[in-house]
Amino acid sequence: MVSGYTIRRSFRQLQLAVLLLTFVVGAAAAYGGGLFLRMQAERQLQVRAAETLAVQTEALTGILDKYRLLPPLLAHEDSVIALFEGSGDAAEAKRKAIEVSGMSGAEDVAFLRPDGSVLASADYDFPISHEQQRALLDASAQGRLGRQALITGDGRRVYAFAFGVRRGSRLIGHVAVYVNFDAVEATWSLSPDPVYVIDRTGTVFLSNRPEWRLQPFSSLASVNGEALRYRVGDSVLPGSDLSRDLTLLDWQLHVLTDRRPLFSASLVGGVIAGLVVLLIGAGLFALVQWREAQILRMRRDRSAALRLERLVRERTRALRETNLSLSQEIDERRQAEERLRKAQAELVQAGKLAALGQMSAALSHEFNQPLAAIRTYSDNSVRLLEKDRIDSVRDNLGRITGLVDRMAGLSRSLLSFSRKPGTSVKPVTLAPIVDEALMLTKPRANKAGIVIEWNPPDDLPQVLGGRIRLSQVFVNLINNAVDAIGDRGHGRIVVSLSCDDEGNVAACVDDDGPGVSDENADSVFEPFFTTKSVGSGIGIGLSIASGIVRDFGGRISLEKSALGGARFVVWLQSVDSQREAAE
């Protein structure tokens, strides 16, 4: 029988072997994992740099190609050739240069004499040395397209194209177009990597790093073997360079990519691989120990299972209590929403009754006038009957009938307006609804000396809404217009309907009152906001109207009216546009 000492020594030897194996394999895995992730990251870095290089090359060559053909085209125009005839018309040449520069977007357009002196240019403050100008015009004088990268005296970098203007075979001048690179560098600035152009002298001519421009690249970066390090501010960063030759420009376009992510990827790969091997080694180590402490582990597992079961019961009870609490909260929220809907409906009804109270004096006058007229016509009819003037009596009765019909219509409008509205949305015609609202609001407007203009259009499409609720909207808007004009004794309100190209219907209410100030314009549709004096309103009319229109899928907007006051526009969806959207 093997002794306990032998078993313990065997297990110690086995555990030591597991530890040594874990260390060796972990080191190899860390190296391999780091190398693999570094290669993957480097490949992605190269792909991103190549894509950036291709895009920025297209941006640079694209903007230069835009202007390359402009000098030859201008040089063959009769109007340009005529500028160089005789002593040259400098004023007309400058006008032409400004026109071409403005239409093409070039930095400058210049008309030059054969000796290189400037006949006219769009920008007289565009200093270029004689040597640079001469190098540009040599090719132009030989019948070729001159092209040259230039640095102006004030430090601007431009690229110039030039072409000779000829009368027959005789050179009479040059057309030069100067292109700046602000748009190109603005496009390059979207790239997180340094993008730059090096000319044949090794100078950075263009770059998305402003501090690099017109600096020798050797002062910005250093190359040690295949490693490149470049300077950004006070920091020196490792980078990879990818370039493309621009043969026609004698330039090289470069993209520098930061290599620091490669080091991070290598480190992450090594750590992950090492941790994986470490976990496997720990598992093997634990497996070795398991044989030694099997009984203890079984007891520990049984104890853990009991604790887990108790914890599950406690969590289940807590979850059940939480669910019950959430269910109660949901019920409370539903009840609160129901109370809110009822309160909103009562608020709408209260607003309507408040509007009726506001109009009551004028409406009373509207009823009293026909009643007084009916009394007068009735008394006259009695006397006319006594005189046996039947035709006159019939005429008086007809007038009485008309007055009664008028009072009945006004009564129906009041009854319809005061009735609690339904919640359904259906096709309605706006013109009769506006007529009904005007029947209720005109008496108050007439009493204030205000003229309401209303010309209903023909063939206006139906809209989605509710007749009673829309009537309240227009009553509120017209009453607000009357309140805005005030007691000055005269005023004008215009109510109009129109339809836009998409089939939506706009109902406009304009007034010639003082209007709404800019600081109050954003608050007019908020509840309980009002600019009226105390006792003249609580500020819920426009809020109610806005809510009603939103329920119909529309909106209300405030604008400045051509009459000088405010304009409220109610936009509603037409039935036809809703049907087309559904299809």
Q: What pairs with residue 146 in β-bridges? A: 162
Residues with Cβ < 8 Å from 499, sequence gap 6 or more? 460, 461, 505, 506, 574
C-alpha 162/C-alpha 142 separation (Å) is 11
Top pLDDT among 112 and 36 is at 112
Concatenated DSSP letters for 514-579? ----HHHHTTTTSTT---SPTTS--S-HHHHHHHHHHHTT-EEEEEE-TTSSEEEEEEE-BHHHHH
Question: How many CB atoms within 10 Å of residue 73?
Answer: 12
C-alpha 252/C-alpha 32 separation (Å) is 37
Tens of pLDDT along 132-174? 677 778 878 888 888 878 877 677 788 888 998 888 888 888 8
**C-alpha 519 chain-centroid distance:** 24
Structure tokens at 469: 């609720």
C-alpha 412/C-alpha 478 separation (Å) is 19
pLDDT > 70: what percent of the chain?
Answer: 70
Q: Confidence class of residue 538 from pLDDT cuts 50, 70 and 90?
A: low
Top pLDDT among 25 and 87 is at 25
Residues with Cβ < 8 Å from 48, sequence gap 6 or more? 193, 257
> pLDDT at position 304, please?
80
Domain range 421-582, CATH class: alpha beta
**C-alpha 324 chain-centroid distance:** 43
**Which helix or strand (DSSP H or E) is residue 166 part of?**
strand 157-167
Tens of pLDDT along 216-247? 877 666 544 344 554 544 444 455 667 777 77
Q: What pairs with residue 173 in β-bridges? A: 165
Put residue 435 in one of left, alpha, beta given phi > 0 → left and psi -120 to 50 → alpha: alpha
C-alpha 243/C-alpha 196 separation (Å) is 9
> pLDDT at position 233, please?
47
E runs forming strands in 247-308 = 251-258
C-alpha 71/C-alpha 106 separation (Å) is 11
Structure tokens at 529: 């906001």
Fold of 192-258: Beta-Lactamase (3.30.450)
In this structure, which amino acid lies at residue 278?
A: L
> pLDDT at position 494, please?
94
Rg of the chain over all Cα atoms, to the nearest angstrom = 44
C-alpha 38/C-alpha 270 separation (Å) is 10
Question: How many CB atoms within 10 Å of residue 396?
Answer: 21
Structure tokens at 145: 């397209």
Q: Mean pLDDT over all residues of the chain?
A: 75
| Crossing angle of the two packed helices 467-485 and 541-551, in degrees rounded to 10 | 150
C-alpha 448/C-alpha 482 separation (Å) is 8
C-alpha 485/C-alpha 515 separation (Å) is 9
Tens of pLDDT along 182-229? 777 877 777 777 888 887 777 888 887 777 777 787 766 654 434 455
C-alpha 230/C-alpha 420 separation (Å) is 77
**Which helix or strand (DSSP H or E) is residue 362 part of?**
helix 294-386
- Reference 474, options 564, 302, 355, 311; nearest CA is 355
Q: Confidence class of residue 41 from pLDDT cuts 50, 70 and 90?
A: low
Put residue 207 in one of left, alpha, beta given phi > 0 → left and psi -120 to 50 → alpha: beta
Sheet hosting strand 505-511, strand order edge to edge: 450-454, 491-499, 505-511, 566-572, 555-560
pLDDT at 56 over 70: yes
Question: How many CB atoms within 10 Å of residue 212?
Answer: 22
Largest Cα–Cα distance of the chain, in whole Å? 151
Q: Confidence class of residue 528 from pLDDT cuts 50, 70 and 90?
A: low
CATH number of the domain located at residue range(s) 69-183 in this protein: 3.30.450.20
C-alpha 416/C-alpha 557 separation (Å) is 27
Top pLDDT among 394 and 359 is at 394
Q: Confidence class of residue 481 from pLDDT cuts 50, 70 and 90?
A: confident
> pLDDT at position 368, please?
56
